Structures are given as structure tokens and as C-alpha cells.
């Protein structure tokens, strides 16, 4: 499965990396192998996993070939 990043998601991830050390690889690992997937807004899904003392959440859209990260990460 291929991971695709939107421009907005890339920009947000860079901000989170500076603030909290959340690397691009960490986000891709979570989207590729989440602890849990829950429904998000509209047709989006949210990959979730524990990170430090919180919950890392990454919204994405899934197709048969890939997962497209939408808006960066949230804690």
C-alpha cells in the first residue's frame, strides 16, 4: 500500500515535528499499521495510535491501492 501526502498534511507534519518530534516516518508507520481506525468527517478515516502520553490521530482516505493523508496529525 502506498502512502500519499497532501501538501497541507506535509506542512502540518513539519510543524508537529518541530514542536513534538513527530517524524514523517512515525506518521507513515501509524497510517500503514494503526492501532485503531475510526470514522472521521465525511468519507475520511482516522488512524490512531498511542504516542507518549497521548493519542496520535491521522486523517486519511483509503482506496484499494493507497492511503492519502489529509490534514496532518493531531494529539
pLDDT of residue 42: 84
pTM above 0.85, yes or no: yes
- State the chain's mean pLDDT as an integer: 92
pLDDT of residue 45: 96
> Which CA distances in Å does 65 have to 12, 15, 22, 31, 59?
24, 28, 25, 14, 17
Domain spans of the chain, in order of start: 2-69
pLDDT digits (tens, 9 = 90+) for 9-41: 999 999 999 999 999 999 999 999 999 999 988
Amino acid at each position: 500500500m502506498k502512502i500519499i501526502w497532501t501538501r497541507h498534511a506535509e506542512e502540518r507534519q513539519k510543524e508537529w515535528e518541530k514542536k513534538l518530534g513527530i517524524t514523517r516516518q512515525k506518521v507513515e508507520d501509524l497510517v500503514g499499521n494503526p492501532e485503531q481506525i475510526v470514522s472521521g468527517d465525511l468519507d475520511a478515516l482516522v488512524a490512531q495510535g498511542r504516542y507518549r502520553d497521548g493519542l496520535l490521530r491521522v486523517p486519511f482516505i483509503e482506496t484499494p491501492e493507497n492511503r492519502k493523508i489529509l490534514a496532518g496529525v493531531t494529539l
